Structure 1
Amino acid sequence: MKKTLPYFFLLVLLSSSLSFAQVKNPVVESIIKEANENSQLELLGHELMDVIGPRLVGTPEMLMAHEWAVNKYKGWGIPARNEKWGEWRGWDRGITHVDMVYPRVVTLDATQLAWSPSTPRKGVTAELVVLPDVQDSVTFKRWLPSVKGKIVMISMHQPTGRPEYNWEKFATKASLEKMKKQRDDQTQAWRERINRTGYNARTLPVALEKAGAAGIVTSNWSNGFGVNKIFGAYTKKIPSIDMSLEDYGMLYRMVEHGDKPQIKIQAESKNLGNVPTFNTIAEIRGTEKPEEYVMLSAHFDSWDGATGATDNGTGTIMMMEVMRILQKVYPSPKRTILVGHWGSEEQGLNGSRAFVEDHPEIVKNVQALFNQDNGTGRVANISGQGFLHAYDYLGRWLNAVPREITSEIVTTFPGTPSGGGSDYASFVAAGAPAFSLSSLSWDYGTYTWHTNRDTYDKIVFDDVRNNAILAAILVYMASEDPETTSREKSVLPVNTRTGEPMVWPTPRPATRKGGQD
């Protein structure tokens, strides 16, 4: 385990002279044995990602996932429930098909954005136009009527479909620098083009829709081969799609050269009205201190460009596996063990914020919470989140974990509290000792975070198994610890940007009715 001493930003290796020989603990040994010899991770991953699929809040798949998780827990002898916390705009994706129909026919690589309206039964066929480079917003308003009946392309045409690391491997130095300058200049120019319209990425599609456009096409490239970020639509009546860099670039060039390409969009999505939203909660009741809680935490929802495998399917199945293991080898914990599978994290930590609001009696008695979110990699970083004495108890618990797991973990004590990012922040803001088990990258930001490639095949099960062992031992140690964890907060440092002392984040309310705007 790597550790920061004594304050926020200095990272040093935990000296071997500070560690002591680990005494074999039969529960710890059983956790490791069960995780390695009877792992259910691959099966859980298949059932969740392959069979149920993505878990966009408000969709039938999200509800299916909640019901699946409850049934899994009950099958392991663990009481579980789905707890309603609000409502969201219901939506069913249906079949989407996008083709170029003129000047030749080819099926295109495109995805309907979340909550995008459907098309008429026969689809929408129209000529493409590119957002113009106008002098100012007045000029843009004069241009707007020309979009009536057209499908508008509003993303920049990328100068290359090769990631920078590929250029660095093969290009000459001069060619690499030329490409980077062209890309940077083009990016700045496109940003200015958008600004001169008087709109932004959120409001521009709405303005085009009001002007009579037949559809919106974007290409939100994620700087990797074949990978795009897929988020939500802002239109209410016309389809919004995201297209691969390759196909988008082809169509953009055709428009620019006067080839007048036409595409057909057929989208069979359905607006389902308001639907209930849930958190899935499972519990192993404590025997000695049942009103004190050790919590596991992972958001259940995902975007739906792919199947949400590493964001956050891996965190989900890891926490389920931890609960399964503990129920088998540690069925009578001293403190109650709770797991929360939160809904609508992607829209603002809503499920966990709602839980914090609805269950103050639990939050005030949390011994520790462990959250996992950012990908499939083995845990590489743990911060004390600004709790002054976090090292005292986390250090004790981590000492029970095999050295092959902790030796490469960087710890930061006392650290600074997170104001967002993932669901542990909801608990930190309420003063509960909650910690992120932050993963090694595996190019998460480029290739799987919110992308069309976040699928089962990207899961590194050896790393997820490693994390399940780590979390199970931490939960066991936290449950057994005779001491109650300290909630004393450290004096926070000065914010280098503002020059003012940092302040502890405050709890923020959950959005209980979302997706309707």
Structure 2
Amino acid sequence: MKKYFLLLLVSVFASSLLAQTPKEMAAAIEKEANENSQLPQLAHELMDVIGPRLVGTPQMKNAHDWAVNTFSKWGISAENESWGTWRGWERGITHIDMLSPRVVSLSGRQLAWSPGTSAKGIEANLITIPTLADSLAFNNWVSAVKGKFVLVSMPQPTGRPDYNWEEFATPESFEKMKSDRNAQQQAWRQKIRNTGYTSRTINRALEEAGAAGIIQSRWSSGFGANKIFSANTKKIPVVDLSLEDYGMLYRMVENGSNPLIKVVAQSKELGRVPTFNTIATIPGTEFPDEYIVLSAHFDSWDGGTGATDNGTGTITMMETARILKKLYPNPKRTIIVGLWGSEEQGLNGSRAFVEDRPEVVEGLQALFNQDNGTGRVVNLSGQGFLHSYAYLGKWMEAVPESITKHIETNFPGNPGRGGSDYASFVAKGAPAFSLSSLSWSYWNYTWHTNLDTYDKIVFDDVRNNVILTAILTYMASEDPEKTSREKAVLSINPRTGEKREWPSPRSPNREGGID
């Protein structure tokens, strides 16, 4: 009798939730998001404990397993769906030290998928690339790199961001700095062109000539931030140094100080490993074959811990699912959370999903994607769908004014040709939308840099995005109408009358990561 009574209470509670008006549900979502937020804990577990999520690494697999376990604790069914394989690689300890003319530890790290060193490391002097007349002159010179580390990046004339100059320098000094920097950049580009290689291919030529390793520095134009991507060598290590240390070494070489450095980079090659998307599902009751997808890419580069690219998008969608499971456990349409693998290498996880799960693409009511940083959402585009203003506008009516007052809408908008994982669905003609957010210096300080860490997360803004996404999902699920997929005419060739086509979907790279 007691068990029956408890089941009755649960049933009554669920029924009361379903009977709520959109405004009442929105208020309940807002209350849960603000008073019982799981965002800080999710961020800590994902960014601090698991860390960066480079495709093909053990940390990426750990992250997928963590997400499945976390969804399961909330009563949400989830699994890791394999979509291909990748080059398995595991980062180890990186030490970079200058041994002469003085001793100092340098700030830098081995690049992703870079070949490692022995446990003893490599000690070698450094060399810069001289200005040469042409590729023949380069071929005659290149043997000079044998046994040395080669500095392949332009030394920056200033380590101060432009906004710092603009605030403190005289206008004349600021303009002179920009002019000098522009001239230096043009001269550097010409120097590389004269070798017969590009900035991407020259490393292989240096490797073949016997270089001990490659030293680069890809400054992001922000204090202390370096862009850290992947290596493109097969046998020798590639490391990225901070602007400050790189500039010091470059000046030493150019002035004849002949610095000696030691690099220890203990990474491991793991062979070919499977890759995944984590897919969580809350089944629909009335329209189970129609879907709302909560979309975020799960992978990251591994210079930092992938906090704003795209840990914040990930925890936004996970927290949204948690709240909806608690307050809206029986949605009319099926809600899917897609945490995609390998967005950074070309939207591979989401592209594979649209190929492997055509029923979701066909039945898609809406997809909401969040990627670009920690800021609150400030732009919502119709992505080129002619009638998107009607249904998105209707759904937005339930969102609190404290959130909508920050959001600009753009209808019908443009589908775009890149962006993030929503583009995989838009390319198939499915209504997928990017929740675009404020920058918070994303491009200069956190996007693909060593500074993309937990402390850059602005939790008030992420909670804002959770509330917005949860309400939009609820409204999309409750909408009695299926969303229109009619496309706006993007442009017409005035000479031929031909309509401009939407971007064509590309196939994912399912077997990547091996040079």
- TM beyond 0.5: yes
Q: Which residue of 2 aligns with 1:66?
A: 64
1:38-437 counterparts in 2 under 5 A? 38-437=36-435
Query: Offset at 1:194?
Result: 0.7
Q: Which residue of 1 aligns with 2:14?
A: none
Give the AA of the match of 2:47. Answer: M
| SS of residue paired to 2:221 | strand
Query: Offset at 1:202?
Result: 1.5
Give the AA of the match of 1:175. Answer: S
d(CA) in 2 for partners of 1:409, 1:490: 22
d(CA) in 1 for partners of 2:271, 2:43: 30
Give the AA of the match of 1:333. Answer: P
| SS of residue paired to 1:81 | strand
Q: Kindly tell me: are residues 495 and 107 of structure 1, through their superposed partners in 2, closer, same or farther at Cα, counting changes over 3 Å?
A: farther
Query: Offset at 1:58?
Result: 0.3
d(CA) in 2 for partners of 1:154, 1:461: 39
| SS of residue paired to 1:510 | coil
d(CA) in 1 for partners of 2:468, 2:492: 33
Query: Offset at 1:24?
Result: 6.2
Give the AA of the match of 2:126. Answer: L
Query: Offset at 1:361?
Result: 1.0
Query: Offset at 1:501?
Result: 5.4
CA RMSD of aligned residues (A): 1.2
| SS of residue paired to 2:84 | strand
| SS of residue paired to 1:314 | helix
CA contact (8 A) 2:380 2:434 kept: yes
Q: Kindly tell me: are residues 176 and 148 of structure 1, through their superposed partners in 2, closer, same or farther at Cα, counting changes over 3 Å?
A: same
1:420-459 counterparts in 2 under 5 A? 420-459=418-457
- Residues 166-200 of structure 1: per-residue CA shift (max 9 Å, x gap): 01111111111111111110011101111111111
CA contact (8 A) 2:296 2:421 kept: yes
- Residues 332-379 of structure 1: per-residue CA shift (max 9 Å, x gap): 000000010000000000000000000111110000000000000000
Q: Which residue of 2 aligns with 1:14?
A: none
d(CA) in 2 for partners of 1:426, 1:473: 24
Query: Offset at 1:410?
Result: 1.0
Give the AA of the match of 1:419. Answer: R
Query: Offset at 1:120?
Result: 1.7
- Residues 74-122 of structure 1: per-residue CA shift (max 9 Å, x gap): 0000000000000000000010000001111100001110000011221
CA contact (8 A) 2:26 2:400 kept: no
Query: Offset at 1:25?
Result: 2.6
- Residues 220-251 of structure 1: per-residue CA shift (max 9 Å, x gap): 00001111000000011000000000000000
Query: Offset at 1:502?
Result: 3.4
Give the AA of the match of 1:448. Answer: T
Give the AA of the match of 1:177. Answer: E
- Residues 290-323 of structure 1: per-residue CA shift (max 9 Å, x gap): 0100110000000000000000000000000000
> TM-score, normalising length from structure 1?
0.94
Query: Offset at 1:495?
Result: 8.8
d(CA) in 2 for partners of 1:39, 1:260: 55
d(CA) in 2 for partners of 1:297, 1:177: 43
- Residues 356-415 of structure 1: per-residue CA shift (max 9 Å, x gap): 000111110000000000000000111101000000000000111001101121111001
Give the AA of the match of 1:371. Answer: N
Q: Which residue of 2 aligns with 1:5?
A: none
CA contact (8 A) 2:348 2:509 kept: yes
d(CA) in 2 for partners of 1:24, 1:432: 25
Q: Which residue of 2 aligns with 1:7?
A: none
d(CA) in 1 for partners of 2:285, 2:299: 32
| SS of residue paired to 1:305 | coil
Query: Offset at 1:27?
Result: 1.7
| SS of residue paired to 1:168 | helix
Aligned length: 493
* Identity rate, percent: 69
Query: Offset at 1:500?
Result: 8.1
| SS of residue paired to 2:220 | strand
- Residues 428-472 of structure 1: per-residue CA shift (max 9 Å, x gap): 000100000001010100000000000000000000000000000
| SS of residue paired to 2:489 | coil
Question: Which among 487, 496, 500 is matched to residue 489 of structure 1?
Answer: 487
Query: Offset at 1:132?
Result: 1.3
Query: Offset at 1:493?
Result: 2.4
d(CA) in 2 for partners of 1:76, 1:85: 25
d(CA) in 2 for partners of 1:34, 1:363: 31
Q: Kindly tell me: are residues 325 and 262 of structure 1, through their superposed partners in 2, closer, same or farther at Cα, counting changes over 3 Å?
A: same
Gaps of 5+ in 1: 1-22
Q: Which residue of 2 aligns with 1:17?
A: none
d(CA) in 2 for partners of 1:414, 1:295: 20
Q: Which residue of 1 aligns with 2:514?
A: 516
> TM-score, normalising length from structure 2?
0.94
- Residues 252-299 of structure 1: per-residue CA shift (max 9 Å, x gap): 000000011111000100000000000000000001000100110000
d(CA) in 2 for partners of 1:352, 1:101: 47
| SS of residue paired to 2:292 | strand
Gaps of 5+ in 2: 1-20
Give the AA of the match of 1:103. Answer: P
